[in-house]
């Protein structure tokens, strides 16, 4: 069973498991940003773990990814709100996002396929308000904000959201099968690129935070 499990594990899943393990041992759960980050990584860990079990058991896992996308993107939106000075409007938009995601799951795209619109909606909400926050800090010349660990944390999912939104936005599975680098498809190139940046940034954030904690 263990041999089958590792045989079906890919690089992204190994990154997820590694980042989750580092987070469990290094994050300080007294800090709200660390709590949300651990919740995000826990969501990703269980999603990838259950996906592996589904692959081994030859069971469809589209619903699993749809639910994970709702939780993952929603937690990033809440984390963004908790670390910045966004208006109350953003809080309402988060609620609207969750309502739309649930409706999309049961009424529109459904339970039998990955909910592209849910992912794209959450991703674009995050990206738009991340850009707004960045411009606000530039306007007041608060350059230290861009060198802070919190900014590194908030920046971590940017390429992840951009890359996957670009891919899912076409809603064309044939596009993802186009081979562009050797025998690697467009989908694989995008998914590996954005995930490596995503999890490398999160690992760097965790290690820097852990260094600060031990320096005190």
Structure tokens given for 28: 């300080």
Q: What is the pLDDT of residues 16-70, one digit of tens each?
A: 999 999 999 999 989 999 999 999 999 999 999 998 888 888 888 889 999 999 9
Confidence category of residue 115, pLDDT binned at 50, 70, 90: very high
Query: Count of domains in the chain?
Result: 1
Longest dimension (CA), the chain: 57
**Does 86 score more than 60 pLDDT?**
yes
Q: Minimal CA–CA distance to 62: which of 73, 49, 79, 47?
A: 47
The mean of the pLDDT values for the chain is 89
pLDDT at position 119, please? 96
* 144: containing domain: 2-215
Partners of 181 in the β-ladder? 184
pTM for this model (two decimals): 0.93
Q: How many residues does the structure list for the chain?
A: 216
DSSP labels, 54-100: HHHHT---HHHHHHHHHHHHHHHHHHHHHHS---HHHHHHHHHHHHH
């Amino acid at each position: 069973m263990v041999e089958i499990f590792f045989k079906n594990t890919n690089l992204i899943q190994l990154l997820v498991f590694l980042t989750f393990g580092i987070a469990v041992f290094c994050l300080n759960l007294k800090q709200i940003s660390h709590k949300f980050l651990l919740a995000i990584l826990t969501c990703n860990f269980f999603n990838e773990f259950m996906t592996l079990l589904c692959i081994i058991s030859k069971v469809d896992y589209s619903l699993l990814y749809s639910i994970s996308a709702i939780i993952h993107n929603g937690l990033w939106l809440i984390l963004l709100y908790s670390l910045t000075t966004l208006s109350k409007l953003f809080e309402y938009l988060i609620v609207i996002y969750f309502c739309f995601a649930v409706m999309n799951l049961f009424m529109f795209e459904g339970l039998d396929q990955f909910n592209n619109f849910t992912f794209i909606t959450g991703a674009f909400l995050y990206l738009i308000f991340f850009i707004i926050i960045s411009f606000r800090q530039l306007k007041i010349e608060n350059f230290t904000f861009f060198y802070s660990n919190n900014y590194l944390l908030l920046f971590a999912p940017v390429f992840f959201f951009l890359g996957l939104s670009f891919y899912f936005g076409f809603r064309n599975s044939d596009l993802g099968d186009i081979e562009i680098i050797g025998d690697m498809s467009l989908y694989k190139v995008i998914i590996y690129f954005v995930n490596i940046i995503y999890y490398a940034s999160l690992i760097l954030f965790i290690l820097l935070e852990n260094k600060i904690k031990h320096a005190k």
